Amino acid sequence: MNVLETILSRRSIRKYTAQAVSAGTVEKLLRVAMSAPSAGNHQPWHFVVIDDRELLDAIPTVHPYSQMLKEAPLAILVCGDLKLDRHAGLWVQDCSAATENLLLAAHALKLGAVWLGVYPREKRMAGLRELLSLPENVIPFSLISIGYPAEEKSPSNRYQKARIHHNRWENR
C-alpha cells in the first residue's frame, strides 16, 4: 500500500481479534512514531507500551471512551515530557505528529487502531498518570488502542471544498 492509499483508507478501528501484536511489530510502530517531525528536532516524547491485560481492563475506569481496550491486545500512550520541551508548548504538535505516524503505520501493517484523546482532559490525564506511575513532568497526551481488526470499514471521503481558502478568507 502506498502512502496516499494508507492515508485515504485509514479508519478508526475499535474491534479486535484476540491475536497478539508481536514485539517486532510494536518496535516498528514506535520507530515510525519517533520519526515524526518535532520543533527543533527535540523529540519531547515518551511512549508507554501497555499489553498487561489488567492495565488494559483498568483504563476504562479513568478514560470513559476506551471500552475497546477490554478487547485490544495492546495500547500505546504517547506522552510529552516538559523537561524536553524546548519550544514552549509545541510538544502538543510534536506528540500529535507522532500519534498520526503511529496510526498510519498501524494501518499499513494491517492493524486496526483508534486515537483516544487524553490531553487536555484533566481527569483522564490524572487517572492515567496514577494508573501508569507517570512522573509529574510527563503529560499523557494520546492513547492508541491497537490490534488485529475484527471489523472492516470503507474509506471515508472527508474532502470539503468549502473549507479551502486561497490567499485570503473567502465567504462562500
The CATH number of the domain where 105 resides is what?
3.40.109.10
Give the whole-angstrom CA distance, residue 144 versus residue 61.
16
Give the whole-angstrom CA distance, residue 164 versus residue 67.
36
Q: Which of 126, 16, 125 is nearest to 75 (CA)?
A: 16
Is 131 inside any structural domain?
yes
Is 127 inside any structural domain?
yes
Structure confidence at residue 66 (pLDDT): 98
Is 36 inside any structural domain?
yes
Our count of domains for the chain comes to 1
- pTM of the full structure: 0.96
Structure confidence at residue 172 (pLDDT): 60
Is 161 inside any structural domain?
no
Is 158 inside any structural domain?
no
- pLDDT tens, residue order, the chain (172 aa): 799 999 999 999 999 999 999 999 999 999 999 999 999 999 999 999 999 999 999 999 999 999 999 999 999 999 999 999 999 999 999 999 999 999 999 999 999 999 999 999 999 999 999 999 999 999 999 999 999 999 999 999 999 999 999 999 977 6
Structure confidence at residue 140 (pLDDT): 98
Is 52 inside any structural domain?
yes
Q: Which of 133, 134, 104 is nearest to 4 (CA)?
A: 104
* Domain range enclosing 113: 3-150
Give the whole-angstrom CA distance, residue 125 versus residue 135.
12
